Amino acid sequence: MHRLLPLVALLWTLWPAAAAAQDASAERIRRTQRIVVSTIEEGLPDLSLDAWLRSIMGAAARLEWTSGSCAGQRGRESSAVPLCGIVSATDAETIVTIGVRLGEYLQDAKADRWRTPGIDNVFISRGRHLVMVDRLVELPRMLKMPTRDWPSADVALDSAGCLPRTPLPNERVTCSLTLVNKSGAPTLARVFTEAGDHSQAAEARVELRPGEFRTVRTTFSWPDEAGAAITGGVEVPDHTPYHRVDERGQLALTRGEDLDAPGDLLGWVDDDDTAKLIVSSRVPAAASTRAIDIPVDSSVRTLLVATESLPGINATLRRPDGAGVGDADPDVQVSKVRTMDLLRQTRADLRVYTIARPQSGVWQVIVAGAAAPAGSSTLVRASGVSPVAFGSFEFVRRQEGVHGGYFPIDGMPLAGVPAVAVAQLWNGPDHAAFRLVDETGTTLKTIPLRKGEPDAAQDEFLGSFELPIVPFHVVMDAVGPAGTPIQRQYAGAFHAQTVAVFFDYFGPKVVEPGKRTRFSFAVTNLGTQPATFTLDAAATLGDISDLSGLPVTVKPETSITTSFWLAVPATVDRMGVPEVRLRLTAISTSDPALANSAIARLELAREGDADNDFVEDGQDNCRDVPNADQRDANKNGVGDACDPASGGRITIRSLAPESGPPGTVVRISGTGFSAAESSGILLNGRPLRATVASPTELTVSIPVDAPPGPATVVVVSDTGDAMSLVPFIVRPAPNRR
């Protein structure tokens, strides 16, 4: 008995809130049922909405009443949600759904504010056909009309663009998509943007009158995976916005679930309920047919297969047993989606199959294009709603020493040198294989990623391999408990590059609002021929200046350095901006595909502490150089970190030579060195000993087992650290070429 008391107390506590919610819903429904249709639209009889619907649908029609937020675009900044009473009238073959605007639901007060009722939306659906009716008075005429005579929806994506134009990873981006309704009837459309593997998406529903243009803005975080596709699109749904597709793939009427949803959570879904990419393949048109395999495992609750519609190319979807998928199949919904790649500004018309509870096994898309124009191709993309995800894939470099481990590289991996990569699966199998595929889905090579490697996390797959010369994607293959194949494709695309960009990470990392700070970066040509690049710098906050807009030419296996000023406004909220991010880019003038970038993260200086070393400027003996210890060996009031009398700040000015095979002797020129730095040289984090040391020069030999590729050179001392902005390029040993 005592165990029941807490439960009784809990139910007693929840009862008033539940009862209030039921009372509110019942009152909305009563108001909707009692509306006299002649008061909301001329030409209608003096009947209640309930009685009028039964008069045109028949006495046997089943009426279902509910309430919720009205259809269409909802303001995300307002807590006043447009409130509708909703009725769905069903007979043997037709469903009529009407939304009546009653007022607003005030989220803060959890109360309804009533206004004069008015029609919000009217829909008629028969099977897979849906039409939106402009006025209630047209409803009887449309009900008598065969579906073949209904006006067809035709909404096009007229234009699209995003700002900023070159966003940084995780930066908030606003995209504007302009739609046009080319049909003769009103239409409700879903407009969306998708970034990466559908995990970062934004969408809105808008109503378009015949011939109307409308611009919709969506905001989302730019993906951090390299080469992710950014897509904007528009879809005319095949069901009303007052219905939801349940777990069984059936339509269910809303029950006001979204009335209390915060604006910033509209459209949000749990990560387990997002679509994970299984395969993406661009298939060239050919006289012979080609089959694209889509392995579907038991964790996939919903399968989405999109095929690009092009003249002369026929793409059909088949089930694991070989049966074709038809539009009328009870577990299938088919929709047409018009999309635009927001980076490349390329358009596509897609036919999208949504299959509820798909059978496990290998589905296939059969592509035949004998009549297609030469050089044409079609896109096939399949995703599954599943908790199993290819969570991350990064190219990394090994850092030795006390703070050793694997750290992500900047930009794209480099060609001609072995690459090291790390992959993570979310809710995935313990054992998996990985392979690289080209844009057609053809396997280029398998890659040896394994768990249990030293310095890797327990759940990470890590390995080293040679890179292909063509752009590639990464695919994970595994086997599920029931023996069915599991496949996931990473959303990003990669292309090994012969150009690298290096930021001076040991230079200034703090920017003081109201002042200009100078930053430097280097561009390295790893190719065999001279290359000319245009350079660009972009910041999430502040203005960039003094970066030359002229192209620069870099000789093979050498680097050039450049610099620019960054000015952050004095009025910036120092506490509200956690960091300023820079993207530094080099793009070949002869081949835009030859490009790379680096990302730098900078701190904003705290008020009264210009170098963020937690020593106030008035007491700091090196105001612009971080030195929390305030060491001052000669007691002259100037900290050793910036005192010329103590060697000054340590700097590296040049490496000679800048490239060579293992065993090459390299002279490091700079300031602030001493004989004590004979053990303070790091090559990609690996400690080296100088053979000759002076205050302005250190001499070191490249280890015989140094891997090929660019290597950072760092000198450390008691007064600070310095990195050579220009890397040393380790060439392959002669016997390794």
CA distance 608 to 603: 14
**Which of residues 365, 385, 405 is at a domain's end?**
385
Query: For residues 319 and 511, what is the distance between their CA atoms, to the nearest angstrom?
Result: 58
Considering the domain architecture, whether residues 30 and 140 belong to the same structural domain is answered as yes
Domain CATH code at residue 293: 2.60.120
Task: Assess whether 53 and 79 both reside in one domain.
Answer: yes
Predicted confidence (pLDDT) per residue in 189-238, tens digit: 888 887 765 445 677 888 888 989 988 888 877 776 666 667 888 888 87
If pLDDT is split at 50, 70 and 90, which confidence band does 254 have? confident
Which bin fits 443, alpha (ψ -120 to 50), beta or left (φ > 0)?
Answer: beta
Mean pLDDT, to the nearest integer, of 64-70? 91
The long-range contacts involving 707-711, CB below 8 angstroms and separated by at least 24 positions, are: 707/417, 707/418, 708/416, 708/417, 708/418, 708/732, 708/736, 709/414, 709/416, 709/417, 709/418, 709/526, 710/414, 710/500, 710/502, 710/524, 710/526, 711/683, 711/684
Q: Tell which of 385, 414, 440 closes a domain.
A: 385
Nearest to 382 by CA among 237, 566, 198: 198
Torsion of CA 439, 374, 311, 337, to 10 degrees: 20
Average pLDDT, integer, range 420-448: 94
What is the reported pTM? 0.79
Per-residue pLDDT tens over the stretch 86-144: 999 999 889 999 999 999 999 888 899 999 999 999 999 998 788 999 889 999 999 99
Domain presence at residue 225: no
Say whether both 407 and 339 belong to one domain: no
502 with 602, same domain? yes
pLDDT in tens, 257-270: 667 665 544 454 55
Q: Which of 301, 510, 472, 279 lies closest to 393, judged by CA?
A: 472
pLDDT tens by residue, 492-533: 889 999 999 998 777 778 888 999 999 999 999 999 999 999
Mean pLDDT of 416-438: 93
Tell me what the mean pLDDT of segment 551-556 comes to: 94
What is the tens place of the pLDDT at every residue in 709-729?
Answer: 888 898 887 767 788 889 999
Q: Are residues 372 and 468 in the same domain?
A: no
DSSP state of 468: P
Question: Are residues 595 and 509 part of one domain?
Answer: yes
CB 245 within 8 A of CB 239: yes
Residue 307 sits in the same domain as residue 333: yes
Per the domain annotation, does 10 fall within a domain?
Answer: no
Asked, for residue 174, whether it belongs to a domain, the answer is: no
Q: Is residue 228 part of a domain?
A: no
For residues 144 and 42, membership in a common domain is answered with yes
| Omega before 164 within 30 of 0, i.e. cis | yes
Burial of 324 (0-12, 13-18, 19+ CB in 10 A): exposed
pLDDT at 246: 63
In the prediction, which pLDDT does 9 show? 43
- Domain shared by 518 and 573, yes or no: yes
Percent of the chain with pLDDT over 70: 88
Residue 621 domain-assigned? no
Does 107 share its domain with 30? yes
Strands 659-660 and 728-730, by their bridges, are: parallel
H and E: helices and strands count for the chain: 3, 49
CA angle, 441 as apex, 440 and 442 as ends, to 5°?
95
* Pairing state between β 681-683 and 659-660: unpaired
Torsion angle defined by CA atoms of residues 305, 309, 314 and 320, in that order, rounded to the nearest 10 degrees:
0
Q: Assess whether 485 and 519 both reside in one domain.
A: no
Q: What is the domain count for the chain?
A: 5
Per-residue pLDDT band at 439 (split at 50, 70, 90): very high
- The CA–CA distances, whole Å, from 599 to 222, 602, 667 equal 14, 10, 29
Task: Give residue 611's pLDDT band: very low, low, confident or very high (50, 70, 90).
Answer: confident
In-domain check, residue 551:
yes
Written as one string, the DSSP assignment of 723-735 is: E-SSPEEEPPPGG
Domain boundary among 385, 407, 422: 385
Q: Do residues 474 and 535 share a domain? A: no
Nearest CA-CA partner of 258 in 500, 492, 70: 70
Any domain includes 70: yes
CATH code for the domain of 549: 2.60.40.10
Q: Pull the structure tokens for residue 670.
A: 């700079």
Give pLDDT, residue 15.
Answer: 41
Which pLDDT score is estimated for 657? 93
Query: Residue 693's domain spans which residues?
Result: 650-737
Stretch 314-343: mean pLDDT: 88
* Position 219 in a domain: no
For residue 438, the model assigns a pLDDT of: 96
- Three-class DSSP labels, 179-199: EEECCCCCEEEEEEEEECCCC
Question: What confidence score (pLDDT) does residue 378 get?
Answer: 87
CATH of the domain at 398: 2.60.40
